[in-house]
Homo-oligomer: A and B are copies of this chain.
Amino acid sequence: MNDQDNPLVIFTPSGKRGRFASGTPILTAARQLGVDLDSVCGGRGICSKCQITPSYGEFPKHGVTVGDDALSQWNAVEERYKSKRGMINGRRLGCQAQVQGDIVIDVPPESQVHKQVVRKRAEARDIVMSPSVHLYYIEVQEPDMHEPSGDLERLIDALQSQWQLENVRADLHILQSVQPMLRKGEWKVTCALHQGDDANPPSIMHIWPGYYDGTVYGLAVDLGSTTIAAHLCDLQTGDVVASSGIMNPQIRFGEDLMSRVSYSMMNPGGADEMTTAVRDSMNALFVQVAAEAEIDRALIVDAVFVCNPVMHHLFLGIDPFELGQAPFALATSNSLALRAVDLDLNLHRAARVYILPCIAGHVGADAAAVALSESPNTSEDLVLVVDVGTNAEILLGNKERVLACSSPTGPAFEGAQISSGQRAAPGAIERVEIDPVTKEPRFRVIGSDLWSDQDGFAQSILSSGITGICGSGIIEMVAEMRIAGIVDGPGLIGSPDQTGTDRCFLDGRTHSYLVWDGTAEGGPCITVTNHDIREIQMAKAALYSGARLLMDKFGVESVDRIVLAGAFGAHISPKHAMVLGMIPDCRLEKVTSAGNAAGTGARIALLNIEARADIERIVCEIHKIETAIEPRFQEHFVNASNIPNSVEPFPILAEVVTLPDVNFNTAGENGAETSGRRRRRRGQ
């Protein structure tokens, strides 16, 4: 072989290399070597997705010297593209630049098909782009009376011959647009193609005349009991272009899931009513998120949903009746690939929907999404992942084994059923400190960076005022009250005499703690009642018991690290969570927040279809524990109601605080707790 006629082409960062005939375009060389170099127009100098950076000079590492003439000269196509759209200096179009001598070619990240979406957290894995929908530019053969075939069939032939796409189908509406689009584009069109899955062949979803210079979008939706959150992603870059949330309208049918199941049992047509409500507000959310990104909703071609089993069933139009009683049978547990239109969702008319698999009757697709995001199944150390919400999903495991359960924490952690509770919004108290000596609180409010005892605080909250306490605020509040000796282990708030502060006052038959009296300015009087403490105790006991149950099943007394997830997981202070006894003891620096891990799991499944197969497999390997039938869960629950007065082994926290060993109850150890619990069950 003559080296001059067949120069060496070396690609970085892949390191792939090969010899090619002089005159071969770089894109062609990349394809032949399997180098990940993007192209939508198929090498026609239109899309510019195949930009590469040639390097010149000596490359001892690669053993080549690259001359100035190693590539063909900058050409008219490149000049036109650069002058119209701009291109970084030094870049070339891979489809235009031809090999003329030995050359080193760098493929920049944005030119890779399987580019990575970098996630901020160190322990989080990056997402490799492999979305369900891709764009392809093609040139279609014109019709010939002597060889009659449909326009669609010739278009499919072009996808086969120009992109090696086999067995492609078309959605019905494509039949209605294929003829005008082909003629408008003068037999050149761009197709959006869904890659298909194990149940469906690849299918053409949309046709644009000529080269379509835009992108398509997907939605990652976390359908929670209380809130619905959606991330709108560019399916070519993976960027989140807008995020938005909305309250789940089903709250009016019941705060927690079992209330909604009851509603459907008590009211004929109730399940349908809830299905319509959630689909309607989902559509409202999509309008909102598309408006925020200033895009046409019809460009949203894919959507991934995660949710707990009750929401899963209600969203799909399945009566959740069976989930309300043992054996908690799911109608279906596998992942679902559907059409958006079948769920009454107004996106692109052919938009697809993917719903992650459920793990069990009480452990849903949201838990599966957390597993996908946090990968306990690949962890070297033993990790406890706690997704805090109206229902808590708990995963415990490592690369050997993963256990999962869910625990009905109720909405208290989200500020509901708390006297001064509210959702996280400007005006809500989110951080609290109580002076252990004076028992005086200082706090921070969402919308201001100042603490309440800092200069300028009053000014900084003028627009919102101080309106209530959000979920993370109430956790800190109760923990701080415990640390300051205002509340005792069983959960009673002390009297002014017992606590030495007038902020504690008799409020019915128990005491309350005054946090902020805004009545002088026409604002609310924000207090923590003993009932609030009870609600938080119930919630945290449920959460803790679930985690302990999994630890029992795993046969361990402690975990190596804890990941707090959930819509407000990012805002929980690990120290306070541990003081409260929400989570098992663990070294504080080993407790991290994963933010909305379920939402992240949805985003991974949206941007990478291989991840869908991954989670379907992982879910089968997760061992499910049903808390409702585990006697030890009840046992743990009763024991966990107390707010711990001992925090050993708790090395870091032990240096910071020593919890006072007070008990404000005169009736005995657990009496107040038990009666409090009975009251709640009876009355509310």
Contacts and interface: CB of A to CB of B under 8 A. Distances in A.
A625 to B, nearest CB: 9
B153 A332 contact: yes
A175 B316 contact: yes
Interface stretch (A74-82, A295-303, A323-331): A323-331
Interface string A300-322: 00000000000000001111011
A334 interface: yes
B318 A176 contact: yes
B326 A145 contact: yes
14 contacts: A144-B327, A146-B626, A148-B359, A150-B333, A150-B358, A152-B332, A152-B334, A167-B198, A175-B317, A175-B332, A178-B332, A179-B318, A179-B322, A199-B200
A146 to B, nearest CB: 7
A151 B329 CA distance: 7
A165 B359 CA distance: 25
Interface string A343-354: 000000000000
Interface in A152-208: 152-153, 167, 169-170, 172, 175-176, 178-180, 198-201
Contacts of A198: 167, 201
A276 to B, nearest CB: 14
A305 to B, nearest CB: 14
A338 interface: yes
B332 A145 contact: no
Given A151-B332, A176-B317, A331-B178, A629 B199 contact: no
A330 B359 CA distance: 48
A149 interface: yes
Contact of A333 (B145, B149, B316, B333): B149
A180 B319 CA distance: 9
A393 to B, nearest CB: 14
A330 B155 CA distance: 12
Contact of A179 (B153, B331, B333, B624): B331
A369 B360 CA distance: 50
Given A145-B629, A149-B333, A151-B331, 18 more contacts: A143-B327, A145-B326, A148-B360, A150-B332, A151-B322, A152-B332, A153-B332, A169-B199, A170-B332, A172-B316, A172-B317, A172-B338, A175-B316, A175-B317, A175-B332, A176-B317, A180-B319, A199-B200
A148 to B, nearest CB: 4
Contacts of A178: 331-332
Contacts of A145: 326-328, 361, 626, 629
A509 to B, nearest CB: 40
Interface of A: 143-146, 148-153, 167, 169-170, 172, 175-176, 178-180, 198-201, 316-319, 321-322, 326-334, 338, 342, 358-361, 624, 626, 629
B176 A361 contact: no
Nearest to A149: B333
A333 B626 contact: no
Contact of A148 (B152, B169, B318, B624): B624
Nearest to A148: B360
A153 B334 contact: yes
A193 to B, nearest CB: 15
Contact of A172 (B152, B201, B342, B624): B342
Contacts of A153: 332-334
Q: Which of A143, A148, A176, A629 has the most CB of B within 10 A?
A: A148
Nearest to A629: B145
A238 to B, nearest CB: 29
Q: Which of A175, A180, A326, A338 has the most CB of B within 10 A?
A: A175
Contacts of A333: 148-150, 152-153
Contacts of A319: 176, 179-180
Given A146-B626, A152-B331, A327-B143, A316 B199 contact: no
A616 to B, nearest CB: 12
Q: Which of A169, A330, A342, A358 has the most CB of B within 10 A?
A: A330
Those 10 A-B pairs whose CB atoms lie nearest each other, nearest first: A148-B360, A150-B333, A143-B329, A150-B332, A152-B332, A145-B327, A150-B330, A143-B327, A145-B626, A199-B201
A199 B167 CA distance: 8
A340 to B, nearest CB: 12
A329 B150 contact: yes
A141 to B, nearest CB: 11
Contacts of A331: 150-152, 175-176, 178-179
Q: Which of A145, A172, A342 has the most CB of B within 10 A?
A: A145
Contacts of A629: 145
A404 to B, nearest CB: 10
A274 to B, nearest CB: 14
A271 to B, nearest CB: 9
Nearest to A358: B150
Contacts of A200: 199-200
Nearest to A334: B153
A203 to B, nearest CB: 9
A215 B419 CA distance: 61
Contacts of A318: 175-176, 179
